[in-house]
Amino acid sequence: MSKTLMGQLGIEIVELSQERVIATMPVDHRTHQPFGLLHGGASVALAETVASMGTYHLIDQENEICVGLEINANHVRGVKEGVVKAVGTPLHKGKTTMVWDIKITDEKEQLVCVSRCTMAILPKRK
């Protein structure tokens, strides 16, 4: 995964089940914005990664793929260093879409970002 966005940002999946996905990401030079804080785009990348991994875990992987359809994020707290944790839970598990709620917290378990991501489920081209 080192040649993917996950690898470049240091995102690691630490739990993957039908009920939730948990991932971590370091807050360092790779994920900072110019003022030394966690970049909002890095938080969004973490959130969509969680939703993508969770959806992929739930679909027919031989015949389907999933892609991000829509994402929003509210950034509520700045982080300068350490590790953030994203916990994603499915709000809707449909045949063509899934909707995920993702909460990102800092090491003190303070809310950093809340996001909702809609994933599209598509047939795999053969």
Catalytic center residues: 48
CA triplet 92, 98, 17: central angle to 5 degrees?
80
45: tokens are 């990348």
Place of tokens 């839970």: 89
Q: CA neighbours within 13 Å on the CB side: how many for 28?
A: 10
Q: Which helix (H) or strand (E) holds 46?
A: helix 40-58
How many beta carbons lie within 10 A of that of residue 87, not counting itself? 15
